[in-house]
Amino acid sequence: MAVTGRAFLFLPALLAWAAPAAAADAPALLPRPAHIAVQAGRFDLTAATPLVAAADDGGARNAALRLAEWMAAAGRPLQAPVPRADGPAIRFARTPGLAAEGYRLRIDADGATVSASDDSGLLYGAVTLWQLAGTPGPLPYMTIEDAPRFGWRGVMLDSARHFQSPAFVKHLIDWMAANKLNRLHWHLVDDQGWRIEIRKYPELTGISAWRSPAVAPGAPPLPPTGGFYSQPEIRDIVAYAGARGIVIIPEIEMPGHATAAIRAYPALGMGVPLPEGVWSDWGVFPWLYNSDDATFAFLQDVLDEVMALFPSPWIHLGGDEATKEQWKADPATQARIRALGLADENALQGWFMARIGNYLAGHGRRMIGWDEILEGGVPADAVVMSWRGVDGAVTAARAGHDAILSAAPTLYFDHRQGTGPDEPPGRGAPVTLADVYAFDLAPAALTPDQHRHIMGVQGNLWTEHVRTEARAAWMLFPRAAAVAEIGWSPAGGKDYADFLSRLKPQLARMAPLGLKAADSAFADAPPLAPLARTSRQLESCTGGILLDLEDDYPAQGPRAHFLTDILNPCWIWRGAPLAGAGRISLSVGQIPFNFQIGVDLDKIRFRPPATPDGEFEVRAGGCKGRRIAVLPLAPARDNPGLTRLEAAVAPTRARRTDLCITYTARGVSPMWALDAVALEPR
């Protein structure tokens, strides 16, 4: 169970020190510490300053080594740690009674002393000292007393949809440590890929670690994409994270999101035909594990190897988005439901998850699951990760379960951070840095006793639309820094302007660690051209499933992005200046419709085409207005890249009016998307 308000479990004096120092006095630290007291005087930290950690204290030596590592990256190298030294020095010392993960940092004439009762606190004191000393100049005398508000301050990395190299995962660990984030939830398997070597079942990676990316009909194939982490690589990454205060929690999805496993070992499913290869679609797939004892033996074998690699107290079992159609249609599954005396398929999922959860408990581990696990009943010690808003956490806490707040959309970092031209593809509705910083970790629906079940907060990076590591870094930071602050700093006193003022130097400190973070929070919006708009500058007609999608062409190099609603590809240009316009041009591209959206597929409707390949239509006065331009798609049919279409604009009396732009089609594939639109004078 999480302990909240832990910044106030220091010495009693801290109760009087909970407020942050005045902005004029406080250094630019992130997360904001619980208390800073700046005093007169300066300590000159140099390369000759001894770094002291007891030889028999592994945690102190690790904190000293990490400080030396970060300072070297900042261009201020320190000496190797020594067990003792006379005179001013940087010292790491054990002090019983300080809060879990908390620390005291004192800078005075004797140097800098980090005190803590546990390894994590020593490390976080080192992080704070690195932030203070990362730029040249003497350090002001000060005392910092600090501890986190929540014990779970996490990031989720989806390596199943798009694979990241071990080097990138280590970079992410460095960036997390620099912000006192302490939990890396690693999403290693899903419908689109299996990324962890399981030696007893080699086909999991032999077959399901690679896939061919989706392309529009007729487009040239793209090179296969994928990869997996060998067991030695995972051990190395886990050790690397542990040395930086981060626990890695692996996620092995069940009973849904199982297509990659069933593709490798078809007996795990229910005999429903599978697609060729591992699918490159996104969305919710219908393939579930069956409930046979042999399948449970498989899952237990997998988890045995997973637990041998990850010492984490928690194993994430997924449990989300398990559509039950295949279970409903499968005679063996229905027989299992009757034999167990269960009410329905939801209850079967509860039994399924409880059986695996109890297996983990027998090995000293706790299961975590997405909030759907509450629908069928789970073991009392199961942790609920609430992603469908905060309601799952509220329900879990009221039922006595610990919970982690990971709420969509605010904490889903596959959303764009802004509307600027540099934003990479992602979910269409922006989630800004300010949105994340404002997220409330204290749901009003909970009593104080129930609040104690909230373990903390986590930001999730799903990677369906995050193809490269550079984009992953951009999507994660600086929003993950906001997660760090709201999970660490005392409740109350939020000040977004102050956070931004501390964030800028923090990002500068992290640049030598390999981070190129998004500048969305600081960038000015680009000016609008008077006679042109990009798709990102247009409105969606209906806003059903709004995505910023990347073209599938070319194989190498930059690709176009399209902001589109996949349920209704339709764009609105508000107040378009039609006075004097004689022609209109559209830049369009075709992309694959690779989305598993279930019954929503039936909602997609198009006007019938007038030509074999269809046409874009432009209407004045909204989507029910008069058609003023038709742009046949025949010139774009065989072009996998962008095509410029042109047409005359029918005369209209309106000087400014809303333009509705859409296309006709006989079906969803290929999906046409608008890149840009421009008006040209007569």
Q: What is the pLDDT of residues 260-284, one digit of tens each?
A: 999 999 999 999 988 775 578 888 8
Encoding tokens for residue 633? 């798609």
Alpha carbons 605 and 73: distance in angstroms, whole number: 56
In this structure, the answer to whether residues 300 and 397 fall within a common structural domain is: yes
- Determine, yes or no, domain membership for 1: no
Q: For residue 340, what is the DSSP state?
A: H
In this structure, the answer to whether residues 79 and 225 fall within a common structural domain is: no
The helix (run of H) or strand (run of E) holding residue 672 is strand 671-681
- Determine, yes or no, domain membership for 522: no
In this structure, the answer to whether residues 673 and 539 fall within a common structural domain is: yes
| pLDDT at site 25 | 67
In this structure, the answer to whether residues 498 and 351 fall within a common structural domain is: yes
Q: Is the peptide bond before 569 cis (omega within 30 degrees of 0)?
A: no
- Determine, yes or no, domain membership for 34: yes
- Determine, yes or no, domain membership for 564: yes
**Which one of 69, 158, 174, 190 is the catalytic residue?**
190
Domain boundary, last residue among 124, 146, 168: 146
- Determine, yes or no, domain membership for 453: yes
Domain boundary, last residue among 116, 146, 176: 146
Q: Is 112 helix (H, G, I), strand (E, B) or coil?
A: strand
| pLDDT at site 275 | 74
Neighbours of 337 (CB within 10 A): 19
| pLDDT at site 12 | 35
In this structure, the answer to whether residues 584 and 657 fall within a common structural domain is: yes
Q: Do 346 and 334 form a contact (C-beta atoms < 8 A)?
A: no
| pLDDT at site 1 | 38
> Is 465 one of the annotated active-site residues of the chain?
no
- Determine, yes or no, domain membership for 66: yes
In this structure, the answer to whether residues 575 and 472 fall within a common structural domain is: no
- CATH number at 351 reads 3.20.20.80
> Is 321 one of the annotated active-site residues of the chain?
yes
> Total domain count for the chain?
3
Render pLDDT for 529-571 as a digit per residue (tens, 0 to 9): 999 999 999 999 998 999 999 988 888 888 999 999 999 999 9
In this structure, the answer to whether residues 223 and 318 fall within a common structural domain is: yes
- CATH number at 119 reads 3.30.379.10
**Which one of 162, 257, 453, 561 is the catalytic residue?**
257
- Determine, yes or no, domain membership for 525: no
In this structure, the answer to whether residues 120 and 161 fall within a common structural domain is: no
- CATH number at 639 reads 2.60.120.260
In this structure, the answer to whether residues 459 and 571 fall within a common structural domain is: no
Residues of the chain with pLDDT under 70: 1-25, 277-278
Q: For residue 12, what is the DSSP state?
A: G
Q: Do 614 and 217 form a contact (C-beta atoms < 8 A)?
A: no
| pLDDT at site 15 | 33
In this structure, the answer to whether residues 192 and 271 fall within a common structural domain is: yes
- Centroid of chain to Cα 575: 36
In this structure, the answer to whether residues 327 and 448 fall within a common structural domain is: yes
> Is 257 one of the annotated active-site residues of the chain?
yes
- Determine, yes or no, domain membership for 518: no
Alpha carbons 118 and 102: distance in angstroms, whole number: 8
Largest distance between two CA atoms of the chain:
88
Closest among 141, 142, 92 to 121, alpha carbons compared: 92
In this structure, the answer to whether residues 199 and 141 fall within a common structural domain is: no
Domain that holds residue 453: 152-513
Residue 247 makes CB contacts below 8 A (sequence gap 6+) with 182, 183, 184, 241, 312, 313, 314
Domain boundary, last residue among 486, 513, 540: 513
